[in-house]
Each structure stands twice: as structure tokens, then as C-alpha cells.
Amino acid sequence: MQQCVIIPARFRSTRFPAKPLAPILGKPMILWVAELSAKAVGKDHVYVATEDQMIADLVRQNGFQALMTSPEAMTGTDRLAEAAEMIDYDIYINVQGDEPLIDPTDILRIAKRKAEQPDAIVNGFCYLAPDEDPNNRNIPKVVANEDGTMLYMSRAAVPSFKDAKNAPKNYMKQVCIYGFNREDLRAYAKFGRKSAVEHSEDIEILRFLELGRKIVLVETKPGSLAVDIPSDIQPVEAALRLRQSTL
């Protein structure tokens, strides 16, 4: 099946304006993500979906393809839905532009699961590291059935507990790699607005629960760190330095 990676990259981020262009060890963050994605699907199948000409120019100058989408896109997935109408693939892998530590093999694993379960939405997850706080609202936590089907996702520490002895041994966090087909994305965009719980949590995948869609979770390698706010850059750079020193 033909598969591609689309990276939504919005210049006008509320919490971190111009985030895709933020330098990570001297290289714009969007290029880190695009280069890692290319290791999974090949450079010719990596696209950056953006509303900003500077971002588009940067990725094109570095050999990647840009798809110009509207400034009004409500979420990265809405932007992806626009972009998917411009290119023809069986599977569209959404890799968030603020995940410069993703592993290319995880992208392939998400794509493989989507091919196996075309009627389900596929999302990555890993377990929180010991130094990560489950109460950090910048980290979406995942609740799943024992078969790996997502029940809910929240910025709160979920699942919660009444008695401390029943506290979860570890928390699952979202890794922002998603597997879609065009029909998934059209249904998402057709909803036309953020659902109530999506709006409250500010977690875009929750709209698929509103649509009654099954979301299956694929465990990725640990160590994923997203850049949500400027202070997230320092730990990401430290992790990249460590990774480079071991190569």
C-alpha cells in the first residue's frame, strides 16, 4: 500500500509562535522531523502541510515537499485532511512537527498497523519516564482497554484512583504519530468544529471518539519528548546530544 508522511506545521502557534522554525542544536525543528520521517518512507513521500510561506520555503530548500493549507485549519488533523486531498495515497501518517526524537521504525509500525486494521484510527503511545510528571498538563495521558483500544485521553493524570494502593504502576502518554486513510480524514473534517470534549482537553484525536471511531494504540520506543513550549527545547537537545554520542 502506498504510504506517506504529512507533517502539519503551523507558524501561528498560541503557546509557541514560529515553533516549527525553532532551532534545535542549530537546525530548525521541522527539518529534524522531516529527515527522520524520510528514513521511514523516503524523502519523496514526506510532505509538510503549512499555512506559512517561510516554512514552505525552508522545507523546499532542503529537498522536501510543502503543501499550502488554509490559516483557518482548527487542528493539525484538520490541516492534514486538507493536505490529503492534494496527494493520493492509501495511508497518511501524521507525524507532529514538534516530535524531533521520533524513531523512524515507529512510523513504519504505525503504517503497518493501519494497513492491517484499515477501519481503525492508529495512534502511538509509550510509558512515562520516571522523571516525567503525570500531572503535567502538556503531556496527554492515555487510558486503554487491555486489548489496546483507546478509551480516553486527557491532560489530567488518568486513570485516577480512589485508594493509593490501586494507583497505576505507570502512565501511558500519547506519541503523536497517527495512521489515517482519506475517508478517516474526510469524516474528521466534515464534523466542522471541535467536539465539546476535544475543545475542553485541547486534544484533537478525541474528535474521533465523538465520531464513534475505534482508536488502536501501538507502543513506540520510549524516550519521546515533544516540544510544546520553549522550555521543552533544552531537554530535547540534551536527549539528542546523548543519542548522537552513542552512534
* pLDDT single digits (tens) 122-161: 999 999 999 999 999 999 999 999 999 999 999 999 999 9
* Cα 68 from Cα 140, distance rounded (Å): 28
User: What local confidence, expressed as pLDDT, does residue 82 receive?
Assistant: 98
User: What local confidence, expressed as pLDDT, does residue 243 receive?
Assistant: 84
Query: 181 and 117 in contact (C-beta within 8 Å)?
Result: no
What average pLDDT does the segment 81-104 reach? 95
User: Mean of the per-residue pLDDT values for the chain?
Assistant: 95
- The domain spans of the chain are 3-186+194-245
The set of cell numbers assigned to 121 is 484510527
User: What local confidence, expressed as pLDDT, does residue 128 receive?
Assistant: 95
Around 83, how many Cα atoms within 13 Å sit in the side-chain half-sphere? 31
Positive/negative CA dihedral, 150, 177, 75, 79:
negative
* Cα 115 from Cα 122, distance rounded (Å): 10
User: What local confidence, expressed as pLDDT, does residue 183 receive?
Assistant: 98
Residue 247: band (very low, low, confident or very high) from pLDDT cuts 50, 70, 90: low
* pLDDT single digits (tens) 17-58: 899 999 999 999 999 999 999 999 999 999 999 999 999 999
**CATH architecture entry for 3-186+194-245:** Alpha-Beta Complex (3.90)
* Cα 125 from Cα 217, distance rounded (Å): 6
What average pLDDT does the segment 170-180 reach? 96
How much of the chain exceeds pLDDT 90, in percent? 87
